[in-house]
Amino acid sequence: MLIGLNEDHIMVQDTARKFAVDQLAPIAADLDQGACKNAFLSNLKSMADLGFMGLNVSSDYGGAECGVIAFSLAITEVARGCAASAVTMSVTNMVAELIQAIGTEEQKREHVTNICSGEYLAASFCLSESGAGSDPAGMKTKAIQHGDHWILNGSKMWISSAEYAGVFVVWAVTDPDRPKGKGITCFLVRADAPGITIGKPERKMGQRGSSTASVSFDDCRVPESAMLGRVNEGYRIATTELAGGRIGIASLALGLGGAAMDVARSYSLERKQFGQAISRFQGIQWMLADHYTELEAARLLVLNAAYQKEEGRPFAKEASMAKLYASEAANRACYSALQIMGGVGYTEELPLERYARDVRVTSIYEGTSEIQRMIIARELLREVA
């Protein structure tokens, strides 16, 4: 059980907070409207320079080696400044961690070092497809071995950072005759590989600064050395190795929910109705009390999941609990913050409407709330089976 933060945790948290306030927050609104793209990309490189693209990665490959708790704390602070930057940071860290965990030494030296240094501004997972989102085992993308190469064909959807990623972790069916999910293999594909096409960025409700696009593979040839892990073990990688991403999104949601409530709390002290500040009304006080309590509970769930992972213990259930609760609590917090702010919160004069749009997807990506409930229930029943 994590009782408190140590000096290294606090240093990372303070550094992330300062960077978010000084560099991310000032351009977040413009980035949301399609401007400041160069500044956004420059900030990604700066985050790599700070060590934020490999927080739980060994220093042997250029990582900061700060651990999972530090990763969670940094994501929360970055999200308070710019959710689009936070999701890019979260996914990129997970790619680096995945390659570090199961990649060959050559793969680590080539890709993890480039991620941590900022040579790759970002990295992406290519898992979801139009008919394989919550059910990734139903994917149709295929990889056929041809001599000492593999040839990939298919299309992936909803790929975060596809536009500026340096490397993709791609899942493809390599043995269609095996039972569903048993014939899938994972590959590392550089963004400049022949046969890759990046689609037009999706027009999204929120987190607009983070490019989300389709990625298509048309006779995309990759060498045998591009295989990540063993042949036909890709589905296991998807279901076990990526649970850490839920800690990242839970941390992101926590940052958004906290930022929204902080704006609403300050506003409640200034806004006057019926001759007094609205903070004097019990209805407002109870909204503040309930949501800050929920966010504190979410924070403890997130830190517990991060602690379990950092200690090398099973953490799938804890990560799903944290992701489920934090994303739902943050959505409720943003909704109530808008209610407290009234009409002004609904305008672009303040960041509340952006927080509300940005937070909505946290209960969808990296596994919907419904999928998290399935995972939690599965683990609970497994404990007593």
Residue from 366, 370, 379, 383 carrying the catalytic annotation: 366
- Rounded Cα distance between 61 and 111, Å, is 9
DSSP string, 36-93: -HHHHHHHHHHHHHTTTTSTTS-GGGT-----HHHHHHHHHHHHHH-HHHHHHHHHHH
Beta strands in the chain (DSSP E): 122-126, 142-146, 149-160, 165-173, 184-190, 196-198, 212-223, 227-228, 272-273, 276-277
Which two tokens mark 38?
């160069």
If you compute the radius of gyration of the chain from its CA atoms, what whole number of angstroms results? 21
> Would the CA dihedral through 145, 151, 157, 158 be positive or negative?
positive
- Residues 287 and 260: beta-carbon distance below 8 Å: no
What distance separates the 2 farthest-apart alpha carbons in the chain?
A: 80
CA 76 to each of CA 27, 79, 175, 255: distance values in angstroms, whole numbers, following the listed order: 18, 5, 40, 4
119 annotated active-site: no
* Residues carrying an active site annotation: 366
